[in-house]
Chains A and B, each alone.
Chain A
């Protein structure tokens, strides 16, 4: 077992884990942060997306042990108190989720996208999110929600 000290959504957090456990396993099973989902466990679906020091990654492809000293961001940290982040609100407004299992990963990835590219093209959004599989929506409403959120965030900035 390995002892790890890390920061998750701004909170200092400690845990112990088996060296084989992934960051996703740790978040879900040891820290009860079940917002990140496991759709595949092999990097293919993006449902487990989190940020590590600001970079969006698949938490199923990161060992728990690697979190030592890092800053982890998950879907649970996107809203501020009871105020939804604009992208969360736009996902509701545009009905951009059906089952919602892909939503946490897509929100984490989208937030990172808009921080880096506040004015993305549709093509840019589609390629950025290509690693986030959604089987329900055909992506149409997701892309619209992201574009609309980007627009609102630009005018608010």
Chain B
């Protein structure tokens, strides 16, 4: 295995394209090193992007936030303005692993591992985040929900790398939240995750996005669940409908972390609880 730490994304793309065998991008490494250790991935080339100028920066852009590909959980959560705009995204990312993992783990890495249970991804999906992708044919922006295509599979082409994540402008009267279910209080992978982002018009929900994790091969954007609460003030009927549509959207598996029945039921419970928090945040 070779290790390279280029000083530009252009150089990174060139290295990735030149590699005949398997190449892996290294951000925080909290997935990559686990895979190396287990021998499940045996790359010929590792391209560490952390020495590229700007990858640790968070910058204001069009009222939203552009987050460099190597921004760690610690760096993200230290950014007070971003956390005020998108507390759901910040908290979701903060849930990943331990203090130690937070020192390294990135949104980009969480997205590119494409685990159905990734914590920050439902929150980013609900927020309407996009990823900026650079390849040999230039740069494109893709919706976050279009990056993962199946468990541990991404839509990025050979040689493509994500350079940053963009969180759009929060706008007035908006709020978001992410909740996950784990059996312990920390250090677990989500059995179910649910994110809700919404805006209010008075007491009524004007717009909403609901996203679920760990209940299908990819993170889901559930339009029906959003529709269940749009136009309501989260009355009991709306909440029941939200839970029912969220549960109905689930297509989970039974595994060491949870059963089909459990995941399906909890998706509804968490969607309701997350919606309530997002609503209260939007109210301010």
- The answer to whether A and B touch in the complex, with CB atoms under 8 Å apart, is yes
A contacts, CB < 8 Å to B: 2, 19-20, 22, 41-44, 46, 49, 52, 55-58, 60-63, 65-66, 68, 109, 112-113, 127-132
In the complex, which of the residues A61, A109, A129 has the most CB atoms of chain B within 10 Å of its own CB atom? A61
Whether A41 contacts B29 in the complex (CB less than 8 A), given A56-B103, A130-B98, comes out as no
Main secondary structure of the interface of A (DSSP, over half): mixed
Is B186 within 8 A of A127, CB to CB? Answer: yes
In the complex, which of the residues B50, B185, B187 has the most CB atoms of chain A within 10 Å of its own CB atom? B187
| 5 pairs from A and B in contact (CB 8 Å cutoff) | A19-B46, A113-B99, A127-B186, A129-B99, A131-B99
A42 — which chain B residues lie within 8 A by C-beta?
Answer: 33-34, 37-38
Whether A55 contacts B74 in the complex (CB less than 8 A), given A61-B104, A130-B98, A131-B98, comes out as yes
Of all chain B residues, the one with the shortest Cβ separation from A2 is B3
A20 — which chain B residues lie within 8 A by C-beta?
Answer: 1, 36
* B31 vs chain A, min Cβ distance (A): 9
Is B34 within 8 A of A63, CB to CB? Answer: no
A65 — which chain B residues lie within 8 A by C-beta?
Answer: 3, 5, 48
* A21 vs chain B, min Cβ distance (A): 10
B97 at interface, CB cutoff 8 A:
yes
How long is the Cα–Cα vector from A128 to B153 in the complex, in angstroms?
32
Among candidates A19, A43, A56, residue contacting B97 with C-beta atoms closer than 8 Å: A43
Using a CB-CB cutoff of 8 Å, which residues 100-157 of chain B contact chain A? 100-101, 103-104
